[in-house]
């Protein structure tokens, strides 16, 4: 019975011990999207559910995922040492190099505790850097009219050899293409008479127009944030600026713009109510 007596004596000691600190990754509902290339920033949230602080050396390993397999991409790399207090949640970010891809490709990043093994993973969608070349066929070989005084869009279009006609220099009546993108600057309300007149002239001339408006504008729509409107002869798609935020570095923002352009140039996809005419 000696073993039983020893076990009973150890019970209070065991019960008094704090839970072992175990770092874990908090999963996000939204998958992060980046372009292929070096030093892409990926965010990750760590949580320590234990009752004592933890000091963990974390390594990372990347996997490229296909429909049926996940193949290691590169080696396991040291990342950093994290000190996380009991019940604390921390937001961290790391930079990763993603290979060139021809279409959207799924990757997984494993976060590895040197002592405890894999503590979580982050899913990432990696996109090719030339998404905006899809504007070539949508513009039907004609210049793309762009009003973009803050240069969100013009530098990228010129980098991909798209023919751009600056609507800040060209009168709307003289625009020769069939697609115009009007990006309202934050400091100038899209309700201003000059900009509203420019959009109206383009629509009347049977142009496809994408009109990006600031979110904070009084009376701005809440849902949907991309609103097609049939205006006289042409179609205007009004887009809230949050859908195209961080435009040059955010693949989802560029995809949102392409979707808006597709709706504007192919209005046969749309079913307008009388309220939107």
Mean pLDDT confidence for 77-94: 95
Mean of pLDDT over the chain: 85
What is the share, in percent, of the chain residues with pLDDT greater than 90? 61
Q: Where are the domains of the chain?
A: 15-127, 131-270
Residue 39, pLDDT > 50, answer: yes
Residue bearing the bigger pLDDT, 234 or 97: 97
Helix (H/G/I), strand (E/B), else coil: 195: helix
Q: What is the CATH number of domain 15-127?
A: 2.60.40.10
Looking at residue 181, its pLDDT comes to 96
Rounded to whole angstroms, the Cα distance separating 84 from 107 reads: 27
pLDDT in tens, 185-238: 877 665 577 888 999 999 999 999 999 988 865 455 555 587 777 666 778 999
Rounded to whole angstroms, the Cα distance separating 79 from 121 reads: 14
Residue bearing the bigger pLDDT, 23 or 219: 23
What is the share, in percent, of the chain residues with pLDDT greater than 70? 83
Helix (H/G/I), strand (E/B), else coil: 133: helix
Mean pLDDT confidence for 23-47: 95
Residue bearing the bigger pLDDT, 170 or 191: 170
CA proximity to 213, closest of 249, 246, 185: 185
Compute the CA torsion angle 188, 190, 192, 194 (nearest 10 deg): 100
Instruction: Please give the CATH architecture assigned to the domain spanning 131-270.
Output: 3-Layer(aba) Sandwich (3.40)
Q: Which pTM value belongs to this model?
A: 0.80
Two domains, one topology: 15-127 and 131-270: no
Rounded to whole angstroms, the Cα distance separating 139 from 82 reads: 50
């Amino acid at each position: 019975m000696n073993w039983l007596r020893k076990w009973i004596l150890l019970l209070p000691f065991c019960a008094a011990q704090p839970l072992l600190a175990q770092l874990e990754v908090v999963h996000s509902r939204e998958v992060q999207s980046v372009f292929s290339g070096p030093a892409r920033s990926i965010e990750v949230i760590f949580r320590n559910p234990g009752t004592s602080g933890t000091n963990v050396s974390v390594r990372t390993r990347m996997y490229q995922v296909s429909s049926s397999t996940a193949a290691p991409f590169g080696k396991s790399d040291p990342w950093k040492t994290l000190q996380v207090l009991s019940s604390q949640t921390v937001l961290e970010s790391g930079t990763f190099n993603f290979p060139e891809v021809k279409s959207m490709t799924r990757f997984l990043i494993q976060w590895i505790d040197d002592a405890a093994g894999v503590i979580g993973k982050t899913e990432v969608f990696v996109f090719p850097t030339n998404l905006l070349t899809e504007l070539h066929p949508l513009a039907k070989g004609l210049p793309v009219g762009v009003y973009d005084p803050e240069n969100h869009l013009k530098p990228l279009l010129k980098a991909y050899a798209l023919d751009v006609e600056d609507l800040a220099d060209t009168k709307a009546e003289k625009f020769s293409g069939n697609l115009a993108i009007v990006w309202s600057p934050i400091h100038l309300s899209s309700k201003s008479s000059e900009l509203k007149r420019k959009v109206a002239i383009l629509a009347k001339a049977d142009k496809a127009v994408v009109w990006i408006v600031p979110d904070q504008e009084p009376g701005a729509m809440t849902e949907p944030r991309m609103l097609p409107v049939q205006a006289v002869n042409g179609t205007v798609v009004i887009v809230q600026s949050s859908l195209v935020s961080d435009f040059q570095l955010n693949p989802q923002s560029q995809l949102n713009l392409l979707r808006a352009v597709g709706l504007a140039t192919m209005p046969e996809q749309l079913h307008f109510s009388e309220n939107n005419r």
